[in-house]
Amino acid sequence: MTVAALYVERNGVYFDLPGVDPWDESRDARLYAGPHPVVAHPPCARWCRLAGLVEARWGHRRGDDGGCFASALASVRRWGGVLEHPAYSDAWGAFDLPRPPRHGGWVRGLCGGWSAHVEQGRYGHAARKATWLYVYGVAQLPTLRWGYDPDTRAKALVSWCGNHVASSERRPRVGKRAASRSPIEFRDLLLTIARATQTTEMSCTF
């Protein structure tokens, strides 16, 4: 089954894969009109935990992402698949998505979709990278590598956002590009989830 990978990095981990149709910035994933299930990585800068600080300092309004998250969510709900965003994303509250517990398990929302908390560090990322997933139209939800790891010296830090550690912390730090890239094993997990979609087109009134 072909999967459309939306809002992905050009020549990144979703490119040059059989059965994957990658949509980078030049293609504008807001224009995606099916018919394949999707793996969606909409931009997170206006929804992350630093969005309020950015708005106060530079005037970029929280949630003002040009409609990317709304479009990604609509694609997942119409064609099936999975949407990925940083844990604690403000988009979850803005779009009434079910808030998942950080220690594991899937939580069902009113519209029939499911949310989960997972750390990409458990799939090969250099940092912990806590992530929320929203899945819709999938026949069987997988068991993920559940759990919450507090900040320890076992993982690198992300240099471009806040880390809840002491100012004297000397762990390695990864830059924005490396931090945003999905580990291969995690990418393959998301593609497998999308390929488990039951039907080719769905609808949701929420």
pLDDT in tens, 57-92: 544 566 568 899 999 999 999 999 999 999 999 999
Q: Would you place residue 33 in the very low, low, confident or very high pLDDT band (cuts 50, 70, 90)?
A: very high
Q: How far apart are CA 93 and CA 97, in angstroms?
A: 6
Q: How many CA atoms lie within 13 A of 51 on its CB side?
A: 17
Mean pLDDT computed over 107-130: 91
- Residue 105 pLDDT: 96
Q: Would you place residue 157 in the very low, low, confident or very high pLDDT band (cuts 50, 70, 90)?
A: low
- Residue 31 pLDDT: 98
Q: Which residue has the higher pLDDT, 165 or 10?
A: 10
Is residue 164 over pLDDT 80? Answer: no
- Residue 49 pLDDT: 56
User: Model confidence over 181-196: pLDDT tens digits?
Assistant: 789 999 999 999 999 9
Transcribe the chain into DSSP letters: --EEEES--TTSTTTT-TTEEEE-GGG-GGG---SS-EEE----TTTSTTHHHHHHHH---TT-STTHHHHHHHHHHHH-EEEEEETT-HHHHHTTPPPPPTTS--EE-TTS-EEEEEEGGGGT-SB--EEEEEEESBSSPPP-----PPS-TTSBEETTS--SS-TT----EE-HHHHHSPPHHHHHHHHHHHHTBS-S------
Mean pLDDT computed over 139-149: 89
Q: Would you place residue 55 in the very low, low, confident or very high pLDDT band (cuts 50, 70, 90)?
A: low
Query: Mean pLDDT across the chain, nearest whole number?
Result: 83
- Residue 162 pLDDT: 46
